[in-house]
Structure 1
Amino acid sequence: MADETEIVNYLFKRLYQLGIRSVHGVPGDFNLVALDYLDPAGLNWVGNCSELNAGYAADGYARINGISALITTFGVGELSAVPAIAGSYSERVSIVHIVGVPSTKTEKHGLPIHHTFADGDYSAFKNISKTISQACITLDDAKIAGKEIDRVLRALPVDMVLSKTPAQGLDNPIDLTVPRNDLDTETEAVEAIKKALYGSSNAIILVGVGAMQYRVLKEVQEFIDLSQLPVFLTPMVRAPKKPQEQSINTDLRVNSALYGQEKLMLHVETSVHSQFRGVYNGDASGPEIQQAIQSADLVVFIGPLNTDFNSGGFTSYTKTKNTIEFQSNFTKVGYATYLDVGMKLVLPRILDSIDVRKIQHPQTNITKVEKPIDVEAKITEPSDQEVTQQWFWGHIGDWLQEGDVVVAETGTSSFGIMDTRFPKGVTAITQILWGSIGFSVGACQGATLAIAESERPTRRVILFVGDGSFQLTGNEISTMIRHGLKPIIVVLNNDGYTTERKIHGPEMSYNDIQPWKYRKFLKAFGARKGEYKNYVVRTQSECYGLFNKGNEFSKANVIQATS
């Protein structure tokens, strides 16, 4: 390798080494030169309808691929992406946000150029990004640019794009060593955990989203297999990514909480197989699940995150004295806290030293929770009754196939899909914590692209989105058409903002939307005849017929359905 290379080339080659193959974004005058270097680095330029859509798409791509990249221009472009980047940061999704900014000379002299406030301050937008980024840096020193890229990726001044930086770093993988726990404290914690496990007669395992974020699903699976204890999940765990073979370095994950989202991901519900008992969401859970959690004399809680939607409105409850809690940087056993003992390293020690013969299994019979289909709604004969939310979500799981990727929009879709039972290997993408409406359409594009680039390109991607949310970002279907992506898109005709109506103002005009001719969209966006199919269903029998597994609808097509 040459002694020096262009900064932009170094940057893009690092992205390629991290497993990124496509880069989302919108071109702008301050990033155009940099975009010329994507193709030589082996990267595909997606090109989205807006920076907001690009951010959502990068989020969906990262949830499948493990990491993604987004390129915008200074000011107007990067600010348009802020809601999407903030959502990724909130939900610990790994996105590298690269911003093309004015030249160092322009900034030095404070010139009042376009995309600024004409006040000479070029730091305003970067300061905004700092609050929603794990790390943020401007590359304005060619001598150390390579090292800075390896530490953090964020902004690239237009005159620094072609500046030379030492290239030798590209020959070496980025160090991803996890800092060791304090050995004495870790040993004390392990002994306390084993004592609690051996002394329990009715223990259960509760897996939180931290198990995904902090890359311990493999260890969690081994612990489940070893202990054979009943397992429950919290709602946010239903968003894992596909299995991959190697992890990626966390130091290059910029506009996210970088300490999570590795590529070595297992589907939790599939992994826990026979030990899986259900999803615990506080008072929103079924009575049998609530009873199982409340009657346990020990809850092994791995990676809890007590947000409102993830805890049944803060009604999830475990007794501190009866809980072992694993987090990224501490472990709690009852009332004792062991600081700097993170789950990534303490779990393997537990696996190596535990005596499974001393673990007692629950005395109560916690049966496996079956999918919650309302008895009155269950089909015996196809009905001509109108499709309802309860009926739809109670039956959609029967149509899903092994390996599907399900994208559920914030609102009726994300809540409805929560209790839908998935076949083996189904990956769910939702945005339970951030909850930005419109997220799912862009995320669907990104996820579909990541699947197309993966080792299993035939996996179906299915989007469930309400009509209100669709109207925010529906133009991203244009990008899907341009790249030949064919997800299955189900638009639920809720006639407005149904979730908001349930919260407040069911009859108020601010929850109304203008009805669109959704079936005209594909043609209007340039899809050619034969490249897509449209369907409309209004009754249970029509829906049942369309979603029958023997129907051609089981294949990947762009569709529109109403309910």
Structure 2
Amino acid sequence: MSEQITIGAYLLERLAQLKVTSMFGVPGDFNLGFLDLVEDHPAMEWIGNCNELNAAYAADGYARVKPTSIGVITTTFGVGELSAINGIAGAFSEMVPVLHIVGVPSTSQQKNKPMLHHTLGDGRYDAYAKAAEQFAITQATLLDKRTAAQEIDRVITACITSARPVYLFIPTDVVFMKIPTGNLHTPLTSAFPPNDEETEQFVLDEIVRKVEAADGDAIFLVDACAVRHHVKDEVKELVEKTGFPVYAAPMGKSAVWEGYERYGGIYVGSISRPEIKEKVESAKLIISIGGLKSDFNTGNFTYRIPKQRTIELHSDHTLVQYAKYDAIGMKQLIPKLIPRLAGFAAAASKLSVPRFGARFPTEDPLGEETISHAWMWPRMSQFFREKDVIVSETGTSSFGVLDVPLPKDAINVSQILWGSIGWTVGSTLGAALAARDQNLGRTLLFIGDGSIQLTIQEVSTMMRLRLKPIIFLLNNSGYTIERYLHGTHRKYNDIVNWKWTQLLDVLAPADLEPRPKSYTVHTKKEFDELLNTPSFASCETIQLVEIMMDRFDAPQALQRQAELSGKTNAYVAEYL
């Protein structure tokens, strides 16, 4: 007879096989039995968040920094799962593998439909699952123990292969049902089905012909899905062995080491640096890897790279100019493309590449001592170290960090497509835990005073877990990105100015040692001296730096993006 295991324990063993070590979420009466198993599991740590939205953000950040794993959140039926849904939708939008486990009423209650708490009072027990369908690649409700193992495996496999969220709904009485352990001996696969050999060979030949026709004048443009679908190593070998210039889109930042001699910088359409824009748009052939053409990722759709000069490599298809080849994925294609394109290395080496570096302003319009974005981000680039995890909030931070190079093996974490303000606080929690698992460097959060007010509670969870990020809080008196988009002087873009340097003490556990530290810097000199302080840079404890900035100052890239967005999203009274 096969050994037996509870369904809840089976699920946890599958997650442990994927090296999931942290589970985020909030306890509720329909998931408490499952949480007993989580708390008792030797390889799993129950994090316990302040709210479900933050837990979803944390699972997202964890998955981004730990590419061999997935993020996991557990909530309760209805009130818990709906609170998390914005975070899950963001993970879907940005292609992040997150498993949402929901504890739901027992199988008999779902059949008889009594008017339970957390329901809508009308017997529609499936209403929340129907909502979840919009933000998940697949889902399963575990009602039959005979198929539970197969359903768990199916859903998790879909999560890791598609890099999208999935849902598992587990009734209270199913958690402790016993099933055989046999399936656990077969590892879950993260691989796509193999490319069709004949079609793949044709595609390879076509790509080589296009490079030949361009006389070797080709570039690589690397984007978000190169990270999400785990081809960073393949891309590294491809760019190094071919020697073609390589650029990145904003969502692809840190997919390629920005100190690499053939790396030219970030291409964002019309708001790119002039030398980057010229090199990318004048290339005879652009080979895009993992492209994601959203508005903020393309300079409001101002890419100037027509299809007749473009090849696109994606996780599940390839585009060669106007021809689409379904089921020809880049994970298997790129290794075969490398030797085919390596012969162009001599021609590629003659193509000049602009040197991508931080640029201090020659003249600062805000004055010599005032901390400006134009000065701060080049200065921060000197503070960054190899293997740092750099989390930048939607708005001034996510745009500012684009303009400076990151060190080798540093990881950039930002949410450019979904853009939910406050996301980075929860994400920093998950990112810091993943960084600890993988022996990465410091975790650094850049966030504005408006954004952090939405999710500040999760800093208390970081301190409870003895995590030591540095929180760089940009105090510019409100929602700066919104000021640039609309309502520059409107009150709705203002916020209450909290006593920021007192917050860590308020949120910290009484027994936290060493105690958290907070600072306020008003001038470049004060900020520079703090960054040069060894004890500060070594992250001996969690730290918060309040950076006083002008409310109307913003990175140039954000200002240009806001101008473009303002033109396309103009508020027009059509009835006038």
Fold shared, TM-score > 0.5 on shorter chain: yes
Relative distance call for 1:298 and 1:550 in structure 2 (3 A) is same
- 2:291 is paired with a residue of what secondary structure? coil
Report the alpha carbon displacement of residue 110 of structure 1 after superposing the two structures with TM.
Answer: 1.1
Report the alpha carbon displacement of residue 331 of structure 1 after superposing the two structures with TM.
Answer: 1.8
Q: Give the counterpart of 2:94 among 67, 91, 96.
A: 91
CA–CA separation in structure 2 for the residues paired with 1:476 and 1:506 = 30
CA–CA separation in structure 1 for the residues paired with 2:81 and 2:8 = 18
CA–CA separation in structure 2 for the residues paired with 1:139 and 1:482 = 34
**Greater relative contact order, per chain length (Cα 8 Å cut-off, separation 6+):** 1
Q: Give the counterpart of 2:198 among 181, 184, 194.
A: 184
Give yes or no for contact 1:399–1:549 (8 Å, CA) kept in 2. no
Residue equivalent to 2:60: 59
Residue equivalent to 1:134: 137
CA–CA separation in structure 2 for the residues paired with 1:15 and 1:159 = 21
Residue equivalent to 1:162: 176
Q: Give the counterpart of 1:312 among 299, 306, 320.
A: 299
Residue equivalent to 1:558: 543
Written as runs of structure 1 = structure 2, the 5 A alignment for 1:108-123 is 108-123=111-126
Q: Give the counterpart of 1:483 among 453, 459, 465.
A: 465
CA–CA separation in structure 2 for the residues paired with 1:77 and 1:348 = 44
Report the alpha carbon displacement of residue 158 of structure 1 after superposing the two structures with TM.
Answer: 0.7
Give yes or no for contact 1:142–1:164 (8 Å, CA) kept in 2. yes
2:11 pairs with 1:11: yes
CA–CA separation in structure 1 for the residues paired with 2:221 and 2:46 = 41
Residue equivalent to 2:392: 408
- 1:434 is paired with a residue of what secondary structure? coil
Q: Compare 528-537 and 62-71 and name the one that shifted more.
A: 528-537
- 1:324 is paired with a residue of what secondary structure? strand
Written as runs of structure 1 = structure 2, the 5 A alignment for 1:511-530 is 511-528=493-510, 530=514
Q: Give the counterpart of 1:149 among 142, 152, 159.
A: 152
Q: Compare 44-53 and 418-427 and name the one that shifted more.
A: 418-427
Relative distance call for 1:137 and 1:3 in structure 2 (3 A) is same
Q: Compare 125-134 and 33-42 and name the one that shifted more.
A: 33-42
Instruction: Give me the CA root mean square deviation.
Output: 2.0
Q: Give the counterpart of 1:461 among 418, 431, 443.
A: 443
Written as runs of structure 1 = structure 2, the 5 A alignment for 1:396-435 is 396-435=380-419
Residue equivalent to 1:449: 433
Which runs of 5 or more structure 1 residues have no equivalent in the other structure? 241-266
Residue equivalent to 1:281: 268
Relative distance call for 1:154 and 1:473 in structure 2 (3 A) is same
Which runs of 5 or more structure 2 residues have no equivalent in the other structure? 156-166, 549-576
CA–CA separation in structure 2 for the residues paired with 1:453 and 1:142 = 33
Report the alpha carbon displacement of residue 549 of structure 1 after superposing the two structures with TM.
Answer: 5.8
Report the alpha carbon displacement of residue 334 of structure 1 after superposing the two structures with TM.
Answer: 2.5
Give yes or no for contact 1:16–1:41 (8 Å, CA) kept in 2. no
2:226 pairs with 1:211: yes
Give yes or no for contact 1:200–1:360 (8 Å, CA) kept in 2. no
CA–CA separation in structure 2 for the residues paired with 1:359 and 1:333 = 24
* 2:55 aligned partner, one-letter code: A
CA–CA separation in structure 1 for the residues paired with 2:89 and 2:382 = 35
Q: Matched residue pairs, number?
A: 530
- 1:154 is paired with a residue of what secondary structure? strand
- 2:135 is paired with a residue of what secondary structure? coil
CA–CA separation in structure 1 for the residues paired with 2:314 and 2:378 = 34
Cα shift readout 1:524-559 (whole Å, capped 9, x = no counterpart): 123447421111101111111111264634434322
Q: Give the counterpart of 2:257 among 240, 249, 269.
A: 269
Report the alpha carbon displacement of residue 357 of structure 1 after superposing the two structures with TM.
Answer: 4.8
Relative distance call for 1:415 and 1:2 in structure 2 (3 A) is same
CA–CA separation in structure 1 for the residues paired with 2:503 and 2:353 = 49
* 1:172 aligned partner, one-letter code: T
Residue equivalent to 1:390: 374
Give yes or no for contact 1:143–1:166 (8 Å, CA) kept in 2. no
Give yes or no for contact 1:56–1:440 (8 Å, CA) kept in 2. yes
Give yes or no for contact 1:535–1:561 (8 Å, CA) kept in 2. yes
* 2:130 aligned partner, one-letter code: N
Report the alpha carbon displacement of residue 522 of structure 1 after superposing the two structures with TM.
Answer: 1.5
- 2:138 is paired with a residue of what secondary structure? coil
Residue equivalent to 2:363: 376
Residue equivalent to 1:263: none
- 1:507 is paired with a residue of what secondary structure? coil
Written as runs of structure 1 = structure 2, the 5 A alignment for 1:293-308 is 293-308=280-295
Residue equivalent to 2:235: 220
Residue equivalent to 1:255: none
Q: Compare 356-365 and 172-181 and name the one that shifted more.
A: 356-365
Report the alpha carbon displacement of residue 200 of structure 1 after superposing the two structures with TM.
Answer: 2.0
* 1:389 aligned partner, one-letter code: H
Cα shift readout 1:261-319 (whole Å, capped 9, x = no counterpart): xxxxxx5225x711101110001101101110121111111121110010011001212
2:321 pairs with 1:334: yes
Report the alpha carbon displacement of residue 181 of structure 1 after superposing the two structures with TM.
Answer: 1.9
Report the alpha carbon displacement of residue 342 of structure 1 after superposing the two structures with TM.
Answer: 1.8
Q: Give the counterpart of 1:193 among 185, 190, 207.
A: 207
CA–CA separation in structure 2 for the residues paired with 1:419 and 1:358 = 28
Report the alpha carbon displacement of residue 215 of structure 1 after superposing the two structures with TM.
Answer: 2.3
Q: Give the counterpart of 1:547 among 524, 531, 540.
A: 531
CA–CA separation in structure 1 for the residues paired with 2:109 and 2:266 = 55
Report the alpha carbon displacement of residue 116 of structure 1 after superposing the two structures with TM.
Answer: 0.4
* 2:47 aligned partner, one-letter code: V
Q: TM-score, normalised by structure 1?
A: 0.90
Residue equivalent to 1:437: 421
Give yes or no for contact 2:62–2:430 (8 Å, CA) kept in 1. yes
- 1:531 is paired with a residue of what secondary structure? coil
Q: TM-score, normalised by structure 2?
A: 0.88
- 1:159 is paired with a residue of what secondary structure? coil
Report the alpha carbon displacement of residue 214 of structure 1 after superposing the two structures with TM.
Answer: 2.4
Q: Compare 525-534 and 34-43 and name the one that shifted more.
A: 525-534
Cα shift readout 1:371-400 (whole Å, capped 9, x = no counterpart): 233222499xxx862212222123211111
Relative distance call for 1:358 and 1:372 in structure 2 (3 A) is closer
Residue equivalent to 2:24: 24
2:498 pairs with 1:493: no
Q: Give the counterpart of 1:533 among 507, 517, 522.
A: 517
Relative distance call for 1:558 and 1:512 in structure 2 (3 A) is same
CA–CA separation in structure 2 for the residues paired with 1:405 and 1:148 = 35
Q: Compare 505-514 and 352-361 and name the one that shifted more.
A: 352-361
- 2:80 is paired with a residue of what secondary structure? helix
Give yes or no for contact 1:208–1:302 (8 Å, CA) kept in 2. yes
2:103 pairs with 1:100: yes
CA–CA separation in structure 1 for the residues paired with 2:207 and 2:473 = 48
* 1:56 aligned partner, one-letter code: Y
* 1:117 aligned partner, one-letter code: L
Q: Compare 175-184 and 122-131 and name the one that shifted more.
A: 175-184
Report the alpha carbon displacement of residue 445 of structure 1 after superposing the two structures with TM.
Answer: 1.0
CA–CA separation in structure 2 for the residues paired with 1:346 and 1:423 = 28
Cα shift readout 1:10-55 (whole Å, capped 9, x = no counterpart): 0111111111011110000000010000133321110000001111
- 2:173 is paired with a residue of what secondary structure? helix
Relative distance call for 1:418 and 1:302 in structure 2 (3 A) is same
Report the alpha carbon displacement of residue 77 of structure 1 after superposing the two structures with TM.
Answer: 0.2
